[in-house]
């Protein structure tokens, strides 16, 4: 089928549907919802069999939905309507939630129902539920819609609130009033529910050290206590605030300044001096996790396998985070297990350098330089590991330097639903480092390497496997993926052939080093990056500014809008 995806932006769900439908052999083109005239023109140029709208913030123009079948993906159960679907479901502690595929008509979210897929709702961050359960269910719902469209005989079900299967209802946009935390009264569980229901966007509006800020990235804390509402501790970028019955950690803040674009930052960075006065409660990387708390990096061993786990908000890795991760990695190298698994976060493996921290630095060029060197140090340490078999296990998506960092490991395993963006150029023609000029061609060959980086398109895990970019992909959900990673890693650790495998690995590395030293790859990449950061062309700085401030693109790039690329020849 020829499918036009009409969307507010190329977000994770849109990317997943794009790669999934392309893998299934459909012709998929994208148009960003910029204005009605542009949408009409796109439909005219594309002449699609079906329009899919996975992420829209406005209604589809009437003449478009009247003349074309438009299927809207709504992150709510049958009958649920409104722009805050997941927010309400999480705030009200629903146990079951779902995704509905419905036909666009004159009333928002009230069209005939083509498919509904339900799931158990995790009490987690909205952004995480969106990236996992909602995305997986949307893929399934779209699959059913396509089967039903092709079948021809299917009649979608009109929305009828007298039908007992219709459990949802219309709800308004959730306001800050409903999200507001009462620090004197709310228990930790309530505070976390409010933070979770608001994570990603818009956050919970609050006041901290005299500033109006949005709070994000809440974590439970079961040991620390204090007078309700007071700040009691800090750890790395996060601050800990007491509630009526305990405390919670807050990892990210975004300042609210009317009329000015702002961005999320680690809480201690945004608070500055007010945060430094708080006692730092350290937690060793290898401390046993017998209580809930905030930790970005941890190390543990199980059945002869070492696990270095890192979970950075939005997969963004700042200079100091890379340095801490490198120390944890070095500590793991000194331990016994000969199989080491690098476990990125549940939602993201890594998205490379921390563009928000770079943006707010006094000299973004200098901070970019420090950040890329810190991430390169880590990539180099992984490549140079001689006596352990390293495995990158990706349960979440990865982009740019984050993908290449994973390739530094000996084996790369990805969850089936993972989407990879193995390219840098969309960020203002950034050249990229992380030893990608060594790692990528080594895995996929020079020609494919060029295709992957130049196409600037996302790849599904299975497409990445066919290319040789990852070694294997398995399991649909995170927990089964982690269980299978453990099973496979344990098998490798017990395999009598491990010694021989490690010897081969060392020989291959020595051979490669003789051909061309690693340092040379790094040096040449960094010389190009120096130009990106300090040269005359400001493209990277402009692209980063637009990215961190969520400034929408004014047109859909040709690599996505195939209907426009065709016309332009």
Q: Which residues bind ligand COA (CB under 6 A)?
A: 11-12, 200, 264, 314-316, 351-356, 397, 399-401, 421, 424, 427, 430, 548
CB of 144 to ligand COA, least distance (A): 24
How near is the Cβ of 5 to ligand COA at its closest, in Å?
14
- Taking the complex as a whole, the smallest distance from the CB of residue 353 to ligand COA amounts, in Å, to 4
Helix (H) or strand (E) holding 521: helix 518-534
Rounded Cα distance, 89 and 126, in Å: 9
C-beta of residue 7 within 8 angstroms of C-beta of residue 14 = yes
For residue 180, the minimal CB distance to ligand COA (Å) is 21
Beta bridge partners of 238: 235
Please identify, using beta-carbon distances, which residue of 61 and 203 lies nearer to ligand COA: 203
Smallest separation, CB 452 to ligand COA (Å):
15
Q: Closest approach of Cβ 203 to ligand COA, in Å?
A: 9
CB atoms within 10 A of CB 277: 10
Minimum distance, C-beta of residue 357 to ligand COA, in the bound complex (Å)? 7
CB of 515 to ligand COA, least distance (A): 26
Contact 330, 386 (CB under 8 A): no
Q: Where are the beta strands (DSSP E) in 331-432?
A: 339-343, 348-350, 389-394, 397-399, 411-415, 419-421
Rounded to the nearest 10 degrees, the angle between the axes of helix 518-534 and helix 436-444 is 120
C-alpha dihedral sign at 171, 172, 174, 175:
negative
Angle CA 448–401–135, to nearest 5? 85
Nearer residue to ligand COA within complex by CB, 113 or 430: 430
> How long, in residues, is the chain?
569
Tell me which DSSP letter residue 394 carries.
E
Nearer to ligand COA, 168 or 318 (CB): 318
CA distance 318 to 466: 32
For ligand COA, which is the closer residue by CB, 10 or 65? Answer: 10
Nearer to ligand COA, 126 or 488 (CB): 126
**Toward ligand COA, which CB reaches closer, 264 or 564?**
264
Least Cβ distance, residue 447 to ligand COA (angstroms): 23
1: nearest Cα among 50, 41, 45, 47? 50
Nearer to ligand COA, 78 or 354 (CB): 354
Neighbours of 19 (CB within 10 A): 24
Taking every pair of C-alpha atoms in the chain, what is the biggest distance, in angstroms?
A: 74
Closest distance of CB 122 from ligand COA, Å: 18
| Nearest position to ligand COA, beta carbon | 352
Among residues 118 and 176, whose Cβ is nearest to ligand COA? 176
The residue among 148 and 256 lying less far from ligand COA, judged by its C-beta, is 256
The percent helix, strand, coil of the chain (3-state, each to 5) is 40, 20, 35
Distance in angstroms (rounded) separating the CA atoms of residues 16 and 4 = 14
Cβ at position 7, least distance to ligand COA in Å: 11
Torsion of CA 97, 125, 462, 486, to 10 degrees: -110
Of 333 and 469, the one with the shorter C-beta distance to ligand COA is: 469
The per-residue DSSP string of 377-391 comes to: HHHHHHHT--SSEEE
Strand partners, 301: 306
Q: How far is the CB of 505 from ligand COA (least distance, A)?
A: 26
Distances (CA, A) of 205 to 183, 202, 250, 265, 485: 13, 8, 13, 15, 39
Q: How far apart are CA 181 and CA 218, in angstroms?
A: 12
Element at 545 (helix H, strand E): helix 539-548
Q: Please state the closest distance from residue 168 (CB atom) to ligand COA, in A.
A: 25
- Between residues 293 and 351, which has the closer beta carbon with respect to ligand COA? 351
DSSP 3-state of 154: coil
Between 126 and 295, CB nearer to ligand COA: 126
Give the separation between CA 56 and CA 199, rounded to whole angstroms.
19
Nearer to ligand COA, 294 or 424 (CB): 424
């Amino acid at each position: 089928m020829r499918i036009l995806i009409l969307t507010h932006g190329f977000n994770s769900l849109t990317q997943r549907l794009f790669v999934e439908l392309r893998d299934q052999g459909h012709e998929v083109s994208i148009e960003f919802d910029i204005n009605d005239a542009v949408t009409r023109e796109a439909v005219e140029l594309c002449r699609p069999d079906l329009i899919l709208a996975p992420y829209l913030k406005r209604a589809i123009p009437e003449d478009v939905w009247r003349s074309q079948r438009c299927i809207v993906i709504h992150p709510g159960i049958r009958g649920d309507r409104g722009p805050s679907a997941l927010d309400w479901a999480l705030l009200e502690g629903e146990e079951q939630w779902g995704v509905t595929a419905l036909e666009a008509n004159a009333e928002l979210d009230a069209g005939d129902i083509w498919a509904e897929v339900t799931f158990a709702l995790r009490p987690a961050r909205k952004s995480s539920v969106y990236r996992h359960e909602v995305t997986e269910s949307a893929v399934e719902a779209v699959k059913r819609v396509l089967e039903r469209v092709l079948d021809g005989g299917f009649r979608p079900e009109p929305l009828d609130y007298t039908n007992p299967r219709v459990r949802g209802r219309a709800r308004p946009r959730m306001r800050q009033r409903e999200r507001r935390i009462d620090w004197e009264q709310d228990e930790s569980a309530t505070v976390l529910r409010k933070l979770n229901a608001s994570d990603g966007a818009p956050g919970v509006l609050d006041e901290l050290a005299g500033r109006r800020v949005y709070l994000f990235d809440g974590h439970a804390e079961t040991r620390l206590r204090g007078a309700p509402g007071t700040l009691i501790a800090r750890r790395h970028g996060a601050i800990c605030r007491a509630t009526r019955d305990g405390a919670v950690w807050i990892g990210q803040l975004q300042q609210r300044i009317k009329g000015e674009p702002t961005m999320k930052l680690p809480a201690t960075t945004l608070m500055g001096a007010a945060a430094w006065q708080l006692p730092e409660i350290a937690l060793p990387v290898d401390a046993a996790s017998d209580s809930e708390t905030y930790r970005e990096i941890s190390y543990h061993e199980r059945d002869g396998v070492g696990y270095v786990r890192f979970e950075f908000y939005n997969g963004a890795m700042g200079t100091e985070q890379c340095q801490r991760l490198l120390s944890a990695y070095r500590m793991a190298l000194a331990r016994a297990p000969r199989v080491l698994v690098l476990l990125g976060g549940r939602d993201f493996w890594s998205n490379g350098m921390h563009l928000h921290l770079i943006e707010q630095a006094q000299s973004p060029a200098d901070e970019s330089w420090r950040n890329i060197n810190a991430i390169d140090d880590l990539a180099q340490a992984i490549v140079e590991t001689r006596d352990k078999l390293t495995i990158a296990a990706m349960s979440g998506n990865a982009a740019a330097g984050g993908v290449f960092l994973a390739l530094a490991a000996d084996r790369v395993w990805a969850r089936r639903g993972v989407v990879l963006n193995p390219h840098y150029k969309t960020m203002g023609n950034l050249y990229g480092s992380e030893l990608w000029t060594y790692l990528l061609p080594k895995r996929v060959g020079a020609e494919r390497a060029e295709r992957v980086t130049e196409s600037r398109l996302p790849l599904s895990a299975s497409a990445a496997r066919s290319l040789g970019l990852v070694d294997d992909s398995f399991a649909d959900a995170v927990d089964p993926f982690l269980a299978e990673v453990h099973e496979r890693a344990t098998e490798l650790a017990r395999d009598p052939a491990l010694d021989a495998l490690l010897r081969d690995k060392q020989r291959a590395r020595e051979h490669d080093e003789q051909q061309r030293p690693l340092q040379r790859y790094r040096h040449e990449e960094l010389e190009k990056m120096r130009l990106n950061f300090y040269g005359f062309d400001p493209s990277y700085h402009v692209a980063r500014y637009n990215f961190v401030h969520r400034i929408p693109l004014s047109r859909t790039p040709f690599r996505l809008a195939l209907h426009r690329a065709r016309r332009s020849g």
